[in-house]
Structure 1
Amino acid sequence: MLGKIKWANIYLWFVFILLYLPIFFLIIYSFNAGDVMQGWSGFSWKHYGELFADTRIIEIVVNTFLIAILSSLLASVIGTAGALYIYNLKQPLAKNVLLSLNNVLLVSPDVIIGASFLILFTVLGFSLGFTSVLLSHIAFSIPIVVLMVLPRLQEMNQSLVASAKDLGANNWQMLSRVVLPVISPGILAGFFMAFTYSLDDFAVTFFVTGNGFSTLSVEVYSRARQGVSLEINALSAMMFIVSLLMVIAYYIISTRAEKNKKRGAQLMLAATEGL
């Protein structure tokens, strides 16, 4: 048993090192005084200075985060509504069909989704740019939110809804005061997942961007074709730090929500025992 645990730990550390070593290598070389990733020329902040002096990169970073925030917010609202609709369906066949269609979008290659949106926007005569990228990101983020919220709805204690009905709550009160607080961890998880998918999406964005509008993934790809500069290393290091902060923020928020949930359950139990 101890041998199995030891080998499992070794394998886990090997996987983590394999995944994170290239990232750390990239971050370390962002401080290289040289201009290429061949040999160490000394410590320097110059590539970060070049990064913050590059107005195009700053504009693209703002565009990328704006798209990610707006698409994840709208996808969270639409995806939560979709999950509620699927959950409340009484016909098993219709529910299975909708779930299957949602899962198909999750497993479909990004190239197919991007090409489909390009054809759709072209047929409709829709100008490619900020709006086309935003609509595409909302579309491929919605199934992610549905997948995160639906299990929370299925785990929800139905006695809470029944009690709210017995106390005279209307549909909006049940939704806002009972259902949404219970499924909020799923909504939060869906938001963060949609946000990260939007930040690093390349394939779909590559097809639907245009008119001078670009995101970080497309810009990095365009510059990498001309030769990777250490300014890209600095940018990637900054993005890694942002991603790390997002993970920490999600952990803190979810941990606090779980503690509040346990505290609420204990108070309810104490009130029940008092009766």
Structure 2
Amino acid sequence: MTKKRPFANIFLAIIFIILYAPIFYLIFYSFNSGGTMSGFDGFTLDWYKELFQDTRLLIIVLNTLVIALLSALISTIIGVLGAIAIRSFKRKQQNTLLSFNNVLIVSPDVIIGASFLILFTIAGFRLGFYSVLLSHIAFSIPIVVLMVLPKLSEMSPTLIDAAKDLGASNWNVLTKVILPYITPGIFAGFFMALTYSLDDFAVTFFVTGNGFSTLSVEIYSLARQGISLNINALSSLLFLATILLVIVYYYVTKRSGTRGVNFRK
């Protein structure tokens, strides 16, 4: 095993280089004064200044953040209640419900987006802010359920029985026993839902209407018009925001007494 470790480290380093080299290449040329990605002429912050002076783009950033925060919050509430409900069923019923829960996770985003588009069209629902919000809530709920269920599985039923024996009501059991115990899973589900909402393109592309857009759709539209270092600057800021989000998630889960979620039962 010792002889194979250097090769494993080299392989891991190559994988990381393949994954991160294009990102750092993009960030590097976001400071290029030449305006192209073929040669670096000099350092400049003009592309970032131009980015922050674009009022329309700032509104799109605000739209994206509002959609992400609202969908993460609502899906976390519904997902936590759904996970608690699933846990209350018997094993066979749990497996059946989890199978339905996992459909939106394993299904291709294109199919999910097209399905939502057909649903909203048939229902006469206008595409825009609310269609995007509802779609993001729908595909985020199963993620939250999967993040919360492992913590519920770790909780001993004797805790609930003891609370009831001491005269606790169902509401007190939920708020003072169950929710505090599964707090790490709740935070994990919230941040995962937030990340998925911020990064989603395929589903959002189908359900976005005229006059409303998110960053992922806007970046795609800008990229189709040709190379512009505004895209580099915007993508660099998004990458930085994602790193900060991961750091916050790690810090919160560490303080809650866990470094991650264990999916093994």
Q: State the SS of the aligned residue for 1:258.
A: coil
Matched, 1:126 2:150: no
Within 2, Cα distance between the matches of 1:2 and 1:119? 56
Match of 1:244 in 2: 243
Match of 1:169 in 2: 168
Matched, 1:18 2:18: yes
Within 1, Cα distance between the matches of 2:36 and 2:123? 45
* Equivalent position amino acid for 1:113 in 2: I
Within 2, Cα distance between the matches of 1:44 and 1:123? 50
Within 2, Cα distance between the matches of 1:160 and 1:26? 52
Deviation at residue 20 of structure 1 after TM alignment: 1.0
Within 2, Cα distance between the matches of 1:254 and 1:18? 29
Within 1, Cα distance between the matches of 2:180 and 2:12? 35
1:142-181 to 2 correspondence within 5 Å?
142-181=141-180
Match of 2:87 in 1: 87
Q: State the SS of the aligned residue for 2:39.
A: coil
Q: State the SS of the aligned residue for 2:42.
A: coil
- Structure (1/2) with the larger helix percentage: 1
Matched, 1:55 2:48: no
Deviation at residue 56 of structure 1 after TM alignment: 1.0
Within 2, Cα distance between the matches of 1:229 and 1:157? 56
Deviation at residue 159 of structure 1 after TM alignment: 2.2
Q: State the SS of the aligned residue for 1:2.
A: coil
Match of 2:215 in 1: 216
Match of 1:67 in 2: 67
Q: 5+ residue gaps in structure 2?
A: 259-265
Q: Show CA shifts across 1:89-126 (max 9, x none).
A: 13x44322211111121100111111111111111110
Match of 1:265 in 2: none
Match of 1:234 in 2: 233
Match of 1:99 in 2: 98
Deviation at residue 211 of structure 1 after TM alignment: 2.5
* Equivalent position amino acid for 1:158 in 2: P
Match of 2:262 in 1: none
Within 2, Cα distance between the matches of 1:134 and 1:157? 36
Match of 2:263 in 1: none
Deviation at residue 35 of structure 1 after TM alignment: 1.3
1:234-273 to 2 correspondence within 5 Å?
234-258=233-257
Q: TM-score, normalised by structure 1?
A: 0.91
C-alpha RMSD of the superposition:
1.1
Within 2, Cα distance between the matches of 1:65 and 1:226? 25
Within 2, Cα distance between the matches of 1:134 and 1:195? 12
Within 1, Cα distance between the matches of 2:18 and 2:183? 34
Q: State the SS of the aligned residue for 1:210.
A: coil
Match of 2:3 in 1: 3
* Equivalent position amino acid for 2:87 in 1: Y
Deviation at residue 5 of structure 1 after TM alignment: 2.0
Larger radius of gyration: 1
* Equivalent position amino acid for 1:160 in 2: L
Match of 1:267 in 2: none
Within 2, Cα distance between the matches of 1:4 and 1:168? 59
Stretch of structure 1 that moved more, 248-257 or 7-16: 7-16
Stretch of structure 1 that moved more, 119-128 or 162-171: 162-171
Same amino acid, percent of matched pairs = 64
Within 2, Cα distance between the matches of 1:29 and 1:98? 48
Q: TM-score, normalised by structure 2?
A: 0.95
Within 2, Cα distance between the matches of 1:24 and 1:211? 33
* Equivalent position amino acid for 2:31 in 1: F
Deviation at residue 147 of structure 1 after TM alignment: 0.7
